[in-house]
Amino acid sequence: MSLTFENVTLGQRVLFGYGRAARNLGAEVDRLCARRVMVIAAPPEAEIADRVTTGLPVVLRHSDVRPHVPVEKAEAARAAAAGCGADLLVCVGGGSTTGLAKAVALTTRLPIVAVPTTYAGSEATNVWGLTEASRKTTGVDDAVLPVTVVYDSELTMSLPVGLSVASGLNAAAHCVDSMWAPRTNPINQAFAMEGLRAVVDGLRRIARRPDGVDGRDAALYGCYLSGVAFTSAGSGLHHKICHVLGGAYDLPHAQTHATVLPYVLELNARGAPDAARRIATALGSATPVAGLNALREELDAPRALADYGMRREDIPEAARLVLPYVPADNPVPVGIEELTDMLTRAWAGEPAQDREVD
């Protein structure tokens, strides 16, 4: 059979280097001829933002960042950007901070330089998200893709191991879901599998030695690849489920991804044997679910949706909310029964079941 596919690679500059964020960010601000920089950073990341933005022409520091970008926070940040006459947005922080910068760029068309401090991977995508009345809306617009990403693993040293694990498994979920997402193709699959290998290697090293540069570098490199793969392949079943749960029940993003992933893998591996084999290889295991279960055990990964505030009685509604978003070309058919079963087990933290890949 001939190889036929369509792939879009987004144009973005990436500057990667331990201890180089301030220097690389300064050079980017100069290259872009920016004179009025609006820095977006949440209060916990204020010290990191101070460190990397010293000497830049900063006209405003905006710190009102919330998870899942509530619409009113986006509107306040847009007004602040207009009020200070910003010509460049610099966001320093996790996916919530990048998300707020994207919401500003969506309406103002201002360029973004992103300085990520977690492994969310949002900085590599042209996807924006906003939450209103417990419902999360996402969209795609090239204006929200940061023109440059400045990666510096020194900025992730303060990310505790538990949060690193959850965030890294969020990146792993981008990689796994890319293998069957609507626009999956050989290019984004190659990024996804190298991303998964690097994230897994990075997380194992971080768990052993949290202050080791090699582990932090590997996780950050893998997280970038995961974002590139995800933005090219699109949202598969896993992302659709997590997106609905996050918006409807205000669950923490990374932990939700980390908890749900084994169940989607268990289900979809049956209908996607080639992807399953490749995922197993990236995890260093004979089968994908066994590999992920072992990794989760080793890393003491987030386990149950119940631990994050979801109630058992939310499950039927959650399954109904997810159903319309199930991708038409998911490798196996998914109805209300499969969703209810998966959510019930993810809620309780029951281990995903392994199965030999044919």
Q: Which residues sit at the interface with ligand NAD, rule CB under 6 A?
A: 42, 44-45, 67-68, 93-97, 99, 117-118, 120-122, 125, 127, 129, 155-156, 158-159, 163, 167, 170, 253-254
H or E segment to which residue 114 belongs:
strand 112-116
Q: What is the C-alpha end-to-end distance of the chain, expressed in Å?
A: 21
Instruction: Report the distance separating Cα 94 and Cα 156, nearest Å.
Output: 10
Is the CB of 117 or the CB of 287 nearer to ligand NAD? 117
Query: Can you tell me the distance from the alpha carbon of 41 to that of 49, in angstroms, rounded to the nearest whole number?
Result: 7
**Closest to ligand NAD by CB, 67 or 210:** 67
Residue 159, classed as helix, strand or coil, is coil
**Between 97 and 148, CB nearer to ligand NAD:** 97
CB of 207: closest distance to ligand NAD in angstroms? 16
Residue 256 neighbours by CB under 8 Å, 6+ apart: 242, 245, 246, 305, 308
Q: Two tokens at 266?
A: 């268990």
Cβ closest to ligand NAD, residue 117 vs residue 189: 117
What lies within 8 Å, CB to CB, of 64 at 6+ separation is 73, 76, 77
Q: What minimum distance in Å lies between the beta carbon of 328 and ligand NAD? A: 22
Please, are residues 82 and 108 in contact by the beta-carbon 8 Å criterion?
A: yes
Least distance to ligand NAD, CB of residue 101, Å: 11
Closest approach, Cβ 271 to ligand NAD, in A, equals 25
Cβ at position 349, least distance to ligand NAD in Å: 20
- 157 — phi, psi (to 5°)? -60, -30
CB-nearer residue toward ligand NAD: 120 or 357 = 120
Nearer to ligand NAD, 91 or 315 (CB): 91
DSSP per-residue letters across 210-269: TT-HHHHHHHHHHHHHHHHHHHHH---HHHHHHHHHHHHH---HHHHHHHHHHHHHHHHH
Q: What's the min distance (Å) between Cβ of 93 and ligand NAD?
A: 6
Complex with ligand NAD: residue 97 or 330, whichever CB lies closer: 97
Shortest separation between residue 21's beta carbon and ligand NAD, angstroms: 11
